[in-house]
Structure 1
Amino acid sequence: MLDRLVLAHLGAVPLAKLKPIVVANWVGALTDQVSASQVRQAYRLLSQIMTSAVDNDMIPVSPCRRIRLPRLPESHPEILTVAQVNQLAARCELGDHVLILLLAYGGLRIGEALPLRRRHLDVDGGTVLIAEAVTELPGGPVIDTPKDHHRRELPVPAFVVSLVSRLLATLPDDPEAFLFPGRQAHTTHRQQSYHGFRRRFTAAAAAADGLSDVTPHDLRATHATWVADSHGVMVAAHRLGHANASVTTRHYARAVDGRDAEVAKHLDKLGTEPAPRSGTQRARRPRKGSP
């Protein structure tokens, strides 16, 4: 991102001449070329660099201030039922089957699931350690720490752990072995690509009833919705690795259909119909001059 979006446009500009208007023009140019999400990520990276320059007395103040950034589009994820997730997973072979269940029942980002290694899985404890994430870049995949550098240990359902054990039995007995290795002979030493999984996922979704528009990212939103509905938004945010629960509600968790009717029934049990006032009310005297 530094090479492609920042240095390609601003690399030749001296620090002292990097003014807010230059940054604003750069943001405007990027907005016409890439997604709003990438523009915001690139701006955040530049802002971090400029803050470092200020801290090291290279410039007196950061030029990244009061810059209008493009708005992120509203996300409307498809929330699946348990039966739909099972239907989707059933159309996949073991590796993709396990990956789909980890996304739906663990809430992992796809970039966190693909680089999982044997050492990240505690079968006896029933947990997955989220310690790495892969990013697909033009020069190839890069494995680094998860988003916001937030490691987390994630308990997963026992039936998912059982399937993970079956998958591990087919892989090398090496702590560094990938749970989802590349499919070709010369790529088994690295994680499989997202694009390959996405093609197989799309084919499985198209074969399932009513799931043709579902994406892998919808499974993370599905997990957030299930957990928020049963255990609250704060628990869902923790499982998804969000420091702020507002991110969970804004982009992932959605209200489960039918809950409004259940709320009305619950309130009906709590309340009682107030009795009307007994007795006959005295008629008011008309004011002077009124008919």
Structure 2
Amino acid sequence: MPIYPYNTKSGDKRYRVTYRDPDHSQRTKRGFRRRKDAQDYLARMTTYISDNDYIDPNAGKTLVCQFADTWLKGKKNVVKPKYYADLECSWRVHVCNAWGNREIASIRHSEIQTWVSELAKKRSATITIRAHGVLKGVLDLAVRDGSIRRNPADGCQLPRKQRKERTHLTPAQVIDLAHAAGTYQALILTLGFCGLRWGEAAALRVKHVDTQNNRLRVRLSWVRSGKKHFEGAPKTWEVRDVPVPDQVMSAIKEQCEGKGPEDLVFTAPSGGHLREQSAKNHGWYARALRDSGVPTLTCHDLRHTAASIAISSGANVKAVQRMLGHKNAAMTLDTYADLFDTDLDDVATSISSKIAAAKTSNSGNVR
């Protein structure tokens, strides 16, 4: 019989279960207070073994940090360097101290939920969500590896990101800012009317400017990872051809005069790639904001401005998605849903005109 009673040193009666795992090694589990508990455990083990779903109890003793090392190595070559740096930092600063030395099978969902809630009190929703995502990813690897049956990080209640109020410039304000930017006029026009990311504009070369078709071919991006900068390829969906208004293309052509195909279109004062400007420092962008009198906004806000202008000009969500290099139209809608709200008014107006036309041609009443 695989269930045996025994007495502890204090004289208490307990039950021990023995069974053979798929490798035919004998396993023992002690400490059951009731025979029924021992029988239930044995029944579960028997079912797991017959269903080929058995997990070696020793596998659950692996430390989280051991799986984290494998998980991070797997991420390194499949995500952008900047995103990898964010993941590694999140693991090192927020996750490792809390969970690194824990055995994976010892972690409970309630513990993770408490950790998430406490972290959210001290840090932003973005940081909290990323830290939880790192831990969840590491534990997902443990599940796939057959070390635990389910992920205790699943189903946690996470903080919601607060939607930030975005600053959009009008076309006239973009032009005012461009004039105030002096030698960087063409760059401001490109960011504000074409919606390139700063890194995409900084890596733009003369050969990427298609003057025949008024297109900018986004093929590279100037990436920051920690304190280092380098050129890298954008994600697949970020590689695109961006339409350029005639006025902006004229400014870009002037910027390209005298340059070879491999030369950068926009360069730093001392040559080389541009570093992203801040609205708060004393650089040329901050001066242009002050001199132009337009609302203070970041360089990335100029990308939102381009989206706003495109949408107000009648561009549909698919066109805006392609212009901005979003992964899918759902991402564009999620980011700019408020700007597409005006489309509802256009729908109502269009339907009203059709109703009016129908009433004119039909003497019947519309109810």
- Calculate the TM-score normalised by the size of structure 1: 0.72
- What one-letter code is carried by the residue in structure 2 that aligns with 1:193? R
Larger % of strand: which? 2
Show the counterpart of 1:5: 90
- 1:65 and 2:154 matched: yes
**Cα displacement (A) at 1:89:** 0.8
- 1:214 and 2:297 matched: yes
Change (3 A) 1:100 1:161: same
Q: Distance in 1 between matches of 2:185 and 2:147?
A: 52
Show the counterpart of 1:194: 276
- What is the number of equivalent residue pairs in this alignment? 269
Q: Is the 8 A contact 2:95 2:131 kept in 1?
A: no
- 1:241 and 2:325 matched: yes
Q: Distance in 2 between matches of 1:149 and 1:46?
A: 27
SS of aligned partner of 2:277: helix
- What one-letter code is carried by the residue in structure 2 that aligns with 1:182? A
Identical positions, percent: 25
Matches within 5 A, 1:155-234: 155-169=243-257, 171=259, 173=260, 175=262, 177-184=263-270, 188-189=271-272, 191-195=273-277, 199-209=283-293, 211-229=294-312, 230-234=314-318
The structure number with the bigger radius of gyration is: 2
**Cα displacement (A) at 1:249:** 3.5
Q: Distance in 2 between matches of 1:42 and 1:127?
A: 39
Aligned residues: CA RMSD? 3.7
Q: Distance in 2 between matches of 1:46 and 1:149?
A: 27
Show the counterpart of 1:282: none
- What one-letter code is carried by the residue in structure 2 that aligns with 1:99? L
Larger RCO: Structure 1 or Structure 2 (Cα < 8 Å, ≥ 6 residues apart)? 1
**Cα displacement (A) at 1:53:** 4.9
**Cα displacement (A) at 1:265:** 6.4
Structure 1's unaligned 5+ residue stretches are 278-291
Show the counterpart of 2:234: 146
Alignment deviations for residues 132-169 of structure 1 (CA, whole Å, 9 cap, x no partner): 33444442335444367632222222332232222122
Alignment deviations for residues 13-38 of structure 1 (CA, whole Å, 9 cap, x no partner): 35725654565455446545554334
Show the counterpart of 2:215: 127
Change (3 A) 1:193 1:34: farther
- Calculate the TM-score normalised by the size of structure 2: 0.59
Change (3 A) 1:266 1:149: closer
Change (3 A) 1:244 1:93: same
Q: Is the 8 A contact 1:228 1:234 kept in 2?
A: no
Change (3 A) 1:202 1:251: farther
Show the counterpart of 2:56: none
**Cα displacement (A) at 1:124:** 3.4
Show the counterpart of 1:281: none
Q: Mean alpha-carbon deviation: is it higher for 119-128 or for 255-264?
A: 255-264
SS of aligned partner of 1:128: strand
- What one-letter code is carried by the residue in structure 2 that aligns with 1:192? L
